[in-house]
Each structure stands twice: as structure tokens, then as C-alpha cells.
Amino acid sequence: MEDIEREYYMKGVKELVEITKIDHSNVKLYIRREVISTSWAFLGLFLIRRGSILDESGNYKRKTIDQMDEKIKALLQDLELVQYLDDPEKCFQIGLEQASTSVTDSEKSCEPRIATELLIRYAIFLKTEERWEEALKELNEALEIDNTEANWFALTVKAEVLDNLGRIDEAIEDRKRAISWNTTSRDICDLAKAYQKKYMSCEDKNSEIAEEFLLNASDCFTRAVQLLRQEKRPEIHCAQGIFLREIGEIKEAIECFKRAVEVDTATKSRISFRHLFESLLFYYRESLDSEKGKIMHEMAYFYDVTSRKHGELTKETEQFLTEYEEEMATLTAYFQHYRQQPSLYSNGKTMSDIITSVVKEDDIEKWRVTVEEKEKYFRSQEETKLAKKKKEVLCSRCKGPVIERQLSVFPDPLEKPRSLKYPYDFYVIFSPTDRDWVCHILLETLEVSYGYKGAIAERDIRPGSTDIYQRVNLIQNCSKILVILSQKFEGNPECDYELSHALKRKHEENLENVLIPILRNVDGLHQSLRTITFLDAVDDCDWNKLINALESKP
């Protein structure tokens, strides 16, 4: 358990125990009695949340008592809660018993609120234990006491229980009613999943009723995502992606899974990544040869980013190797050919080494031969590409080929920008030490994956033209200017020259957001940019923030 999570968990338990120790018989105000009995219910929920641990299949499951954090176990012993840890249901029974204590006539008006709150929390406990019928009984009792808008949460929990009992039609009606009272993205997503189940259960997918379920599911998923706004809920993006994949919309599903991975955090499970990567592998297998390069880059990018965020993806890689051995061999060859620079390693290892380490010992020789064949293919592709460029790109003065560094492995620029005002969406200022990152990560992601048209001096300056004037021209004709900051940036003559013209344009044209500094090293922030908000890419670039910055007005 993370330190902060542990700290808040322990504080919560301590506060709840302190409340439960108040002498119930001496409490005169009924509101306090409500707090005492409800605290027992919340204490029961705290005790069943012991943290999660990855099982052998790569899924998260609840920890056993022996697997719990040692500090938390010590605290529970000090607070004499171990007896309830073995049987958390006792906490709910004590709370219900205290709530049923007779009260004066003037206090009875508060009873429905007390009873429903306790019954709902008890039902949640029963739900986690998969005691569905018992949970349903408690929720029905809560709704009999209070069937008004104030008790919308009981309907939401009841719908979850009905889902698990296979009573989908009833669950849909309860969710629609709960949403009419209190609209949340999660409830709308759950309603969408219920419609999805109804659609998938239809034998004739072209029937009118099936079409209605499909449209309802699609509409609800869209509404759920729109309602998120800035809220980070990867599970909702994932749910929409699973729906789209089930109905055959694989490209749209991949975009949903990408959004889920982008908003995911290192403390959450890797389920978003698994859905995304499986979909990319399937799409790569089924796609045309002309599309495979773009898909392969996306697979490499997301495997790399997730490895850095979550650590080595051993269980996931084993699964992918079992189902997509050929595609994983191609990915390994891609890493081996394009990603061998030390700056692109993760924990001192190359991505190709990480994948190969998961291959079974009996299959390793065959695997290496397959990967070598795939790498030969990448080398052949690159040689063909360079040969074609040498024929097409000639110096305007001598008609000879341009210098070799301009025929590097930078991706080919797009024909049209996304911007309606400028010929380029962005220009990149960077030092030679960041060339590999700009080439293999930044341009591949922004141009290949997101469709922006970028410009860099090394690739986009016309042969035969004056280099320094062309650099200024590119800076003047782009929507945004990305400044890649590292230790070698400051003091580099080309970087200083380009940055001075970028700053000049910012001030002369009064463009508040035209410059986007991207920090690649903790000591790399340039003196002239210290007043500008920068994007931190020391460990990994936040692409969601960068895309938002590119989309903002200059």
C-alpha cells in the first residue's frame, strides 16, 4: 500500500473507532446516535478493504489478512479490531442493533435516514461477499423506508446487484430512475453496459429490438464520457472501448483504450493497457501492409510508456506471446532496430531484452531466429526508403544528393497540417543529444499517431537554401514552437539562435501560448523560459497535456 494511502486509511480507522467508543447510553442528541451506528458500518467497510495484490493471472484480488500491510495490522491490534477483521459483518450487526435502540417521539423523524444509510452500507458489504440475494433484501428494505430522490444511491446499488443476478431489465429501470434523480458518469456507463448485454443476447443482431439496444448503449457511453469533463476515470473509457470492439469498431475502440491509458495512474491496475495492446495486436494482424508501420509504432510507444509507469509487464507479455507470437516477434525486432539508444532503456534494459526474457527457454533459439528475420525486414525497408530519398531530394545548386543526416529515420512529414492558419502545426527546437528522443518518440507520436504536421530543421529545410533564414521562416510559420530542454540545450549556438527568434515572435505578435517548453532534464530549464509553464518529460511525457497545449490558441 502506498504511504499516503496507508496514512489516510489509518487515520480513518482511528477516527471511526474513537466515535464508536462514545457511550451510547449517555448521548442525548439523536444525531450523535446516528453518527455512532453509521460509524460501525463504515468501519466494517474499512476492514474489508485490505488492499489489492496481483494474482498469477495478472489480475488484482483482495489481500488476505496475512498479506496486509504490517503497519495497518499492528494498528488494528492496538485498537482491538482483529476480531472484526476476521468477521467484518459483526460491525454492521452492532451498528444496526444500536440504530434500533428505542428513541423518543421527537427523535423518530430522523429514523429513515439512519436506517437506510446503514442498510445500504450493509448491502455493499454483502455485495462484496457476492451474497447477492441477501444484499437485495437489505436494499429493498431501505427503499421501502425511503423511496424518494434522497435515496437514489440505494437504487444504484440495487441495480448492480440485479445485474449480477441476471435481472437486466429490472436493473435498467432502476438505473434510469436513479439517473433521473442524480446523474453521474459511472451510472450512465453502467446503464450503457446493461444495454450492451441486452444487445449481445439478441440472436438476430439486425432486428429492431437489437438495433434499439445498440443505439441506447452507444448513446449512453457517449454521454458518460462527455460527463467526465476533467475527471480521470479510465474504467469508463475502457468500457466504451470494450463495447466498440464487441460490435466490430476496432479503430474507435483503440482510441477509447488510448484515452484510458493516458489518464491511468501507476497505482491502478494494468487492465487499460491489456485491452489497448490486445486490440493493437489484433488490428496489426488484420490490417493492410500500408497501415502496419503506424500500428507498430503505436504498439512500441504504449509498451514502452506502460513499462516505465508500471514496471516490467511479465504476465501481460506472457499472455501476448501465447496469442500473438508472430506480432510480438515483430515488435521485438522493431525495438531492436529502432530503440537501442541508452536513453531509451528502461531500468538499464532494452525493451527487446525485456520481451525476450519472458520467452520460454525451450523456444528461445527459434525466437531469436524469427526476430532476426524480422529485423532484416526493417533494415531492408529503411535502405529502400533512403535510396528513394536520395533519388528524389537533390541540391538545387549542384543537383547532388543532400547530406546524409537529412536522410535519417525521421518520419515522413504529412501533406496537410491540422491548423487552418499555418502551414505547420509545430516546430521543434532541440539539441543534438535529444535527437533520438525527438525522432523516435516525439515526432512518431505527434505526427504518426495524432496526425499533426511538424517541422524540424534537419528534415524540412529545403536543400540549397540558407539554413539560418529557413529556420526563422519555419519558426514564423507554425502554430506552436516546442522547445526540448536538457543540459546540452543552453549554450548550443543553433538552439540559442532559434530560441531567440521564437521569443521575439512571442513578444512581437503578443502570442501568450505559442511556446511550449518540454523539460527533458531536471537541470535543463533555460533562463529565458523560467517564467513560462513547462511540460515535464523527465521520466515520461504527459501526451494528454501536450495535445491540449497544441490545441490551445497561440
Q: What is the pLDDT of residues 485-500, one digit of tens each?
A: 887 888 888 898 999 9
Q: Is residue 388 part of a domain?
A: no
Q: What is the mean pLDDT of the chain?
A: 82
Q: Does the residue 459 lie in any domain?
A: yes
Phi, psi of 497 (to 5 degrees): -65, -50
Residue range(s) defining the domain that contains residue 499: 424-551
Closest CA to 552 of 531, 527, 535: 535
Question: Residue 12 falls within a domain, yes or no?
Answer: no
Chain-centre distance for alpha carbon 489? 31
* Amino acid in position 387: A
Interval 317-329: pLDDT, tens: 999 999 999 999 9
- Backbone torsions φ then ψ of 247, nearest 5 degrees: -95, 10
Write down the pLDDT at residue 403: 46
Distances (CA, A) of 60 to 52, 54, 267, 271, 523: 6, 4, 12, 10, 38
Do the domain assignments include residue 147? no
CA nearest to 276, candidates 255, 297, 290: 255
When pLDDT is cut at 50, 70 and 90, the band that residue 406 belongs to is very low
pLDDT surpasses 90 at 194: yes
Average of pLDDT values for 290-310?
A: 84
Rounded distance between C-alpha atoms, residue 404 and residue 410, angstroms: 12
In a domain, 469, yes or no: yes
Does 75 score more than 60 pLDDT? Answer: yes
Separation between Cα atoms, residue 118 and residue 124, nearest integer Å: 10
Higher model confidence: residue 537 or residue 456?
456
Q: Rounded distance, CA 13 to CA 372, Å?
A: 57
Per-residue pLDDT band for 399 (boundaries 50, 70, 90) equals very low
Lowest mean pLDDT among 2-6, 27-31, 50-54, 538-542: 27-31
For a pLDDT cut of 90, what percent of the chain falls above it?
38
pLDDT at 448: 79
Output the pLDDT for position 280.
96
Closest CA to 220 of 260, 187, 252: 187
User: Tens digit of pLDDT for each residue in 122-138?
Assistant: 999 999 889 999 999 99
Of 209-213, 315-319, 400-404, 539-543, the range with the highest mean pLDDT is 209-213
pLDDT level of residue 106 (50, 70, 90 thresholds):
very low
- Report if residue 475 sits inside a domain: yes
For 487, list phi and psi in degrees, rounded to 5.
-60, -30
**Model confidence at 102, in pLDDT bands (50, 70, 90)?**
very low
Q: Of all residues in the chain, what percent carry a pLDDT higher than 70?
A: 80
> What pLDDT does 553 receive?
77
Pick the range with the lowest mean pLDDT from 62-71, 409-418, 426-435: 62-71
**Strand 60-62 to strand 52-54: parallel, antiparallel, or no bridges (unpaired)?**
antiparallel
Q: Which amino acid is at 233?
A: R
Instruction: Please state the domain count of the chain.
Output: 1
Q: Tell me, what CATH number does 489's domain have?
A: 3.40.50.10140
Is the pLDDT higher at 221 or at 315?
221
Q: Which three cell numbers stand for residue 535?
A: 511540460
Mean pLDDT of all residues in 149-153: 92
Sequence-separated (6 or more) residues with CB below 8 Å from residue 78: none
> Residue 485 belongs to what H/E stretch?
strand 478-485
Tell me how far apart the alpha carbons of residues 269 and 301 are, in angstroms, rounded to a whole number: 19
Residue with grid cell 514564423, as numbered in its chain: 476
pLDDT score for 43: 83
What pLDDT, in 10s, does the model give residues 501-533? 999 999 999 888 899 988 876 554 555 555 455
DSSP state of 518: E
Identity (one letter) of the amino acid at 365?
A: E
> Is residue 239 situated within a structural domain?
no
Check residue 275 and give its pLDDT.
Answer: 95
- pLDDT confidence bin for 283, thresholds 50/70/90: very high
Decide which of 47 and 142 is more confident.
142
Which residue do the cell numbers 518518440 mark? 441
DSSP 20-41: HTS-GGG--SHHHHHHHHHHHH
Are 329 and 281 in contact by the 8 Å Cβ rule? The answer is: no
**Mean pLDDT in residue range 41-53:** 76
Is pLDDT above 80 for 549?
yes
Residues 537 and 520 sit within 8 Å (Cβ to Cβ): yes
Whether 380 maps to a domain, the answer reads: no
Question: What does the pLDDT average to over 198-208?
Answer: 94
pLDDT tens-digit readout, 242-276: 999 999 999 999 989 988 988 887 666 688 999 99
Decide if pLDDT at 398 tops 60. Answer: no
The cell 504476465 sits on which residue?
315
- 416 has a pLDDT exceeding 90: no
Ranges of H-type helices in 248-363: 250-263, 271-286, 289-310, 314-323, 325-338, 351-356
3-class secondary structure per residue, 443-455: HHHHHHHCCCCEE
CA distance 44 to 106: 30
Do the beta carbons of residue 426 and residue 447 sit within 8 Å?
no
